[in-house]
Amino acid sequence: MSFLSKYGHWLLLLLTAAVFLPALGGDFCWDDRALILGNAVTDDLWGNLGTFFTADLWQTLELAGTDSGYYRPLMLVSLAVDRSIAGLSPVWAHAHSLAWHVGAVAALWWVLRELCAPLPALLGALIFALHPLQIETVALIAARNDAMAAAMGLAALGLVLDKDAKPAALLGAGLLTWAAMLSKESAVLLPLLLGALDWARAGKPQGWARYGALTAGVALYLLMRTMAGITGGAPEPSVWLRLLESVPDLSAIYISLLALPWPLTPARHILYLPDSMARYYVVAALVLVAIGVGVWKAKDRRLVLAGLIWALLAWLPTLVATADKGLMGERYLYLPLAGLGMALAAALPEKPKLLVGIGAVFALASTAVIELRLPDWKDSRTLWESAHTVGPSPFTHGGLAWYVYQDRDWAQARMHFVSAVEGEPAYRDACTHLVMVNLQMKDPARAVEEGAWGLRDRGCPRLPETMGYWAVALATVGRWDDAIDVISGMPADPFGHRIIIASAHAVLRQDFARYDAIEANWKASEPLAPHVMRLLEGAGERQSAELLGAWKAGRLKKVDPTTLDREAVEAAGGQVIQIPNRP
User: Is residue 295 a contact partner of residue 327, using CB atoms and an 8 Å limit?
Assistant: no
- Taking the C-alpha atoms of residue 119 and residue 139, their distance in angstroms, rounded to an integer, is 28
pTM of the model: 0.90
- Our CA angle for 560, 565, 570, nearest 5°, is 115
Residue 569 has a pLDDT of 42
Q: E strand or H helix at 577, and its extent?
A: none
Taking 3-state DSSP, the helix, strand and coil percentages for the chain, each rounded to the nearest 5, stand at 70, 0, 30
User: Is residue 182 a contact partner of residue 74, using CB atoms and an 8 Å limit?
Assistant: yes
Residue 572 has a pLDDT of 42
HEC letters along 325-337: HCECCHHHHHHHH
User: Is residue 259 a contact partner of residue 280, using CB atoms and an 8 Å limit?
Assistant: no
Residue 64 has a pLDDT of 67
Of 383, 390, 329, 373, the C-alpha closest to 132 is 373
User: Is residue 215 a contact partner of residue 179, using CB atoms and an 8 Å limit?
Assistant: no
Which residues lie closer than 8 Å to 306 by C-beta, 6 or more apart? 196, 197, 199, 200, 342, 343, 346
Residue 270 has a pLDDT of 92
- Taking the C-alpha atoms of residue 257 and residue 161, their distance in angstroms, rounded to an integer, is 31
Residue 339 has a pLDDT of 96
CB neighbour class for 29 (10 Å; exposed up to 12, middle 13-18, buried from 19) = buried
User: Is residue 193 a contact partner of residue 180, using CB atoms and an 8 Å limit?
Assistant: no
Residue 13 has a pLDDT of 97
Q: E strand or H helix at 150, and its extent?
A: helix 144-159
**In which residue ranges of the chain is pLDDT below 50?**
559-566, 568-569, 571-574, 576, 578-583
HEC letters along 167-180: HHHHHHHHHHHHHH
Q: Is 510 helix (H, G, I), strand (E, B) or coil?
A: coil
pLDDT tens profile 190-223 = 999 999 999 999 999 999 999 999 999 999 999 9
Of 2, 218, 13, 201, the C-alpha closest to 110 is 13
Could you tell me the residue ranges of all domains in the chain?
393-461
User: Is residue 156 a contact partner of residue 217, using CB atoms and an 8 Å limit?
Assistant: yes
User: Is residue 498 a contact partner of residue 492, using CB atoms and an 8 Å limit?
Assistant: yes
User: Is residue 451 a contact partner of residue 470, using CB atoms and an 8 Å limit?
Assistant: yes
CATH classification number, 393-461, choose in 1.10.1060, 1.10.357, 1.25.40, 1.10.3110 = 1.25.40
